[in-house]
């Protein structure tokens, strides 16, 4: 009806979908002065190409002398406590893996629980961002069972 106009938008389903997975190469034990190696893999499981991809990974201060190597060219990083990589465009089905190596500090408490977190973002539309984060748990993680307290209200 004039003066109104409408448009019907139909999603094509052709979008990117980045997935981040992190894996430890070897032991997850936290031992003073021991080496540590882990990988971060970014896979575009979508159909469309993902561009302007940024991978961020927090490195705890208990891991020192870190270095990294990428499985593909076009990867640039800013080193520090937190790594931030600019990744090349990834077409549907393409992936890039970054291998990080380091050493635990000499003063590390043996068995200390250390989390490693990573996140990937893109400027491209994505099917889901729920799979853009991952984490690793190094050291000894203990399950703590707390008592359940139930209040009993009697009339």
Residue 133, pLDDT score: 97
- Is residue 43 assigned to a domain? yes
- Is residue 149 assigned to a domain? no
- Is residue 49 assigned to a domain? yes
Residue 6, pLDDT score: 55
- Tokens of residue 132, six digits: 């853009």
The parent domain of residue 41 ranges over 19-126
Residue 74, pLDDT score: 92
Q: Tell me the pTM.
A: 0.81
Q: Could you tell me which of 137, 139, 136, 81 has the C-alpha nearest to residue 109? A: 139
Give just the sign of the alpha carbon dihedral 74, 78, 81, 84. negative
59-99: pLDDT as tens digits: 999 999 999 999 999 999 877 667 999 999 999 999 999 99
Residue 127: pLDDT band with limits 50, 70, 90: very high
Q: Could you tell me which of 55, 31, 17, 152 has the C-alpha nearest to residue 103? A: 31
> What is the strand order of the sheet 114-121 is part of?
76-78, 82-87, 53-58, 114-121, 133-138
Q: How many domains does the chain contain in total?
A: 1
- Is residue 62 assigned to a domain? yes
- Is residue 95 assigned to a domain? yes
């Amino acid at each position: 009806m004039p003066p109104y106009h409408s448009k019907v938008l139909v999603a094509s389903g052709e979008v990117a979908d980045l997935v981040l997975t992190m894996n430890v190469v070897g032991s997850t034990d936290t031992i003073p002065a021991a080496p540590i190696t882990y990988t971060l893999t970014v896979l575009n499981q979508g159909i469309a190409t993902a561009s302007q991809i940024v991978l961020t990974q927090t490195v705890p201060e208990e891991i020192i002398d870190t270095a990294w190597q990428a499985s593909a060219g076009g990867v640039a990083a800013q080193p520090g406590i937190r790594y931030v990589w600019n990744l090349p465009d990834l077409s549907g089905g393409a992936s890039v893996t970054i291998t990080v190596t380091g050493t635990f500090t000499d003063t590390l408490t043996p068995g200390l629980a250390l989390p490693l977190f990573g996140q990937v973002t893109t400027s491209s539309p994505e099917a889901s961002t729920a799979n853009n984060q991952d984490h690793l748990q190094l050291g000894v993680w203990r399950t703590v069972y707390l008592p359940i307290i139930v209040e009993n209200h009697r009339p």
